[in-house]
Amino acid sequence: MKSLPRGRHGLSREFVARNQLDRLLDSIAESLHEHGYDRTTVSVITAHARVSKSDFYRHFQNKDECFVAAYDDAVERLRREVTDACAGEAGWTERVAAALGAVLAFLAREPARADLLFVEGLRAGPDVYARFQKAVQSFVPALREDAPVPERGSAPGDGVAEAVVGGTASLLSRWILAGESEELEARFPEIAEFALTPYVGSDEARRMAARAA
């Protein structure tokens, strides 16, 4: 995000404050991606954002508070991407495919936020890890809603959706930690087959994943 012009610009205080906040949230994500948590200091964040330290402390008490705000912001950005992608899809399989495609596309397009969500967020202590778990669990009801029942056998239990969402998050974490964020979209058939198999069987899941890719 671009910094504001210096001097008189006629912009409201609210607009300026929001612009500064957005730049700080962008900056800490990029700084973490480049330097890691320990070497990302307030000085590094403000220099990258082109925001003064005094303005930083108008928004946050410290780096940790900025980190949590950036984490929550990244979760909401990802959620909006998923919601928008699923909006025009009527069938359960199509919604799952659209959601997974949106997740992979967002993380590939935003490697710094991918690191923030799935790498640094897991290293930042129990408070942020609890946020990670809450974010993961928030996608479970959508997967469970209108899920198909296999032709043979009983409907998957409630724990299946939790296992699929949790397993998907674990796979994403592993790939992002390996530095593969920008290649994530190529993983779509693999992750779609993983998510669909408990509901439609492995053969049908493979066909659906290939068709949706």
pLDDT digits (tens, 9 = 90+) for 152-170: 666 677 789 999 999 999 9
* Cα atoms found within 13 Å of the Cα of residue 207, Cβ hemisphere only: 4
Q: What is the pLDDT of residues 73-110, one digit of tens each?
A: 999 999 999 999 999 888 999 999 999 999 999 999 99
Residue 81 domain flag: yes
- Higher pLDDT: 183 or 157? It is 183
Count: domains in the chain: 1
pLDDT at residue 195 in the model: 94
Contact 138, 80 (CB under 8 A): no
Q: Tell me the C-alpha to C-alpha distance, in Å, between residue 37 and each of 66, 70, 103, 162, 209.
A: 12, 13, 24, 29, 36
Confidence bin at 25 (pLDDT 50/70/90):
very high
Residue 31 domain flag: no
Single-letter amino acid, residue 88: G
Residue 48 domain flag: no
- Residues 63-79 as b or e (16 or more Cβ within 10 Å = b): beebbbbbbebbbeebb
Average pLDDT over residues 134-138: 91
Residue 72 domain flag: yes
Residue 40 domain flag: no
Instruction: Kindly report the CATH number assigned to the domain that includes residue 157.
Output: 1.10.357
The pLDDT > 70 percentage for the chain reads 92
Q: Which domain holds residue 186?
A: 63-212
